[in-house]
Amino acid sequence: MDDTHRGAVLLVDDNPIICQSLAFMLEDEGFTHIFQAFTAEDALALVQEHRLELAFMDVRLKDANGLELAKDIREICPQLDIVFMSGAGSRAELLEAVQIGAVDYLLKPFSPELLSLTLDRFTKRRALTRRVHAAEHRLGEILKNIPLLVFQLDKNFQLRFINDACKHVLGESVPTTPDTSDWFMQHVHPEERERISELLRTALHSETPRTAECRLIHHNGAEVYGYIKTLPALPSELNGQEPLVDGIFIDISERVNQERSTVQQEKLKTVDAISSEMAHELRNPLMTIGGFARRLLLRFPDLHEAQIILRESERLEHLLDRIKSYLQKEQAENLQKVSVRDVLERSIHNRILQLEGAGLTLDIAHAPDLPSAIADPQGLQHVLEIMLGDASQSLMDAGTLVIRTQGTQDRVDLTFSYALEDLRHISPERLYLPFDEGGFGLPQCTTLIRGMCGVMRMERKEGNVVFTISLPAETEKKHAEPTT
C-alpha cells in the first residue's frame, strides 16, 4: 500500500465487533492511525481532536442518525472523505448520502477485496485532489508575481480579482475594502472610459479575445500606457449564471517613452545637420556683406541703405551665434537624485518678480509620494526658470499657469499647461528650432533635458498648450548615460 493511504481513519459503528474487524482489514492495507467511535458523541470528539482523512460510518446508529451525524462532521471537517456502511441500504438513504458528499457506500457484510477497491478509489481521489491544490497554488503564485496586471470583473465591471502587479503598475496595493465597484474603471483614463466600457461589455459574451490600447491612471496621477486584452468568455455551464470578464493589462509606458525619445533624437539630428550646414554656408558671405557695409558707412555716413544692410547683417550674425550655441551639446555632468518639487520651488522664487509683474496666477499640485528624479539640479532649475519666463511672456493678460508633478516607478513628469489665444501659430517644432527671436530658450531646454536622459514634448489639449518634462525616476539600477 502506498504511503499516501496511511492517513488517520475514523470508524463509527455502534457494534464494537464490526469496528474491530474493519480495523484489522485497514491495518492489513497499511493504515496505522485508526480511531474507533461507538457513539455520535465520541465521533464528534475524535473529529475535533484529530486530523482525519477518511471515515467509515454506519448509517443507523443507536443514538443518532448516521446521515445527520455526517452533516455535523462535515461542518467541522469539510475535507473529510466519508464512506457510509449499511446492512440494508435503501435508495433514499443512498441519494441522501450522495447529497451529503459521500465518496462511497458499502453494504454489510463486505469482503476485503471490496474494501481494497474502495481504498484504491480513495487513494486516487486524494492524489488528484493534492495535484489540483498544488496546481491552484502554483497558478495563484504565478498570478501574484507575473509582471502583468491580471483582473476579473463582473457584468457591472465590479472588481472580483486583481493581482499584486497593481502595486507596480498603478502604485497601489490590492484593494481590500468591500466596496470596489468602481475601482477598476476609476483607474481608466477619463477620455477612454466609454470606449473601454464598450470593449468590456462585448467581451462578456465574446468567444474571441478583445484587445485595445488603453491608458490607466497611476496613483500619482501619471498616465500609464498599455494594452487591455480580454480572454474568451467561458461557456455558461462553466461560468455559472453570471458572466465574467477575465483580462490582462500590458504596461508599455517605458516603450512609449523610449519611442518618444527616439523620435526626438532623430528630429534633433536633422536640425543639427541643417543648422551646421546653414551656419557654414552663411558665415563667409555674411562677413563679406557686413564688411562692405561698414566701409560704405565710413565713406558715406548718411547712406541709409548701407545702415539697413549693416543692421540686417548684424541680425543674421546674431542668429548664427545662436545656432553655434545650439550646436554645442549640453551634457549634464552632475546627475544625481533630486527632488523635482524642491527645484521647482527654487525656480519660482527666482522668477517671482517676473511672474507677479505679468499678473500670473499659479495653480500648483504635487502628486503624493512623488519619487525622486535623476537630473542635474542646476540644469533642471535653469530649464524650469526658462519655462516660467516663457509662460510669463505668453500670458500677459493675467492668465493661469497650471503646474503638475506626477510619477511612476520609472519616471517623473512635470507639466506646464496654459491657454493661448491662437494655437495655430504654435508648433511642437518650436521646442527644437533655434531660429525664433522670441528668446524663450526652448531649444536649450530640450537639449538640457536630453542631456539628463529625459524627454521634453509639447501637446495641444482642449485649447491649452501643455509642455511635459519626463525624467528618469531614481531606482536601484545604474543611471543611464546621457544620449549624445
Q: Is 219 in the same domain as 150?
A: yes
Q: Is 216 in the same domain as 313?
A: no
Q: Is 466 in the same domain as 342?
A: yes
433 CB contacts (<8 Å, ≥6 apart)? Answer: 271, 443
Q: Considering just the CA atoms, what is the radius of gyration of the chain in Å?
A: 39
Whole-structure pTM value: 0.53
CATH number of the structural domain spanning residue 94: 3.40.50.2300
Cα distances from 68 to residues 46, 48, 72, 106, 186, in angstroms, run: 17, 17, 7, 18, 49
Query: Which residues on adjacent β-strands are paired with residue 54?
Result: 9, 81
Residue where a domain terminates, one of 298, 328, 358: 328
- Total number of domains constituting the chain: 4
Q: Is 186 in the same domain as 294?
A: no
Q: Is 35 in the same domain as 169?
A: no
Q: Is 170 in the same domain as 233?
A: yes
Q: Is 187 in the same domain as 290?
A: no
Cα distances from 228 to residues 115, 144, 188, 196, in angstroms, run: 54, 18, 11, 9
Helices 304-327 and 442-451, axial angle in degrees (round to 10): 20
Report yes or no: 85 and 13 within 8 Å, Cβ to Cβ. yes
- Concatenated DSSP letters of 71-138: HHHHHH-TT-EEEEEESS--HHHHHHHHHHT-SEEEESS--HHHHHHHHHHHHHHHHHHHHHHHHHHH
Q: Is 428 in the same domain as 351?
A: yes
Q: What cell numbers appear for 79 in the block?
A: 475535507
Helix (H, G, I), strand (E, B) or coil at 6: coil
CATH number of the structural domain spanning residue 338: 3.30.565.10
Check residue 127 and give its pLDDT.
Answer: 86
Q: Is 308 in the same domain as 374?
A: no
- Distance (Å, rounded) from C-alpha 395 to C-alpha 397? 5
Residue where a domain terminates, one of 92, 119, 142: 142
329 CB contacts (<8 Å, ≥6 apart)? Answer: 447, 451, 484
Query: Which residues on adjacent β-strands are paired with residue 214?
Result: 226
Q: Is 105 in the same domain as 184?
A: no
Report the chain (484 residues): mean pLDDT per 10 consecutive residues. Answer: 63 90 88 90 90 89 85 87 81 78 83 88 87 83 79 88 85 67 87 92 88 88 88 66 85 81 71 72 78 82 82 77 61 81 92 83 87 90 87 72 86 85 52 50 78 82 82 65 44
Q: Is 269 in the same domain as 352?
A: no
- Distance (Å, rounded) from C-alpha 264 to C-alpha 268? 6
List helix spans (H) across 395-441: none
Q: Is 269 in the same domain as 187?
A: no
Check residue 181 and give its pLDDT.
Answer: 65
CATH number of the structural domain spanning residue 152: 3.30.450.20
Domain coverage including residue 233: 146-251
Check residue 177 and give its pLDDT.
Answer: 60
3-state helix, strand, coil in the chain (%, to 5): 50, 20, 30
Residue where a domain terminates, one of 311, 328, 345: 328
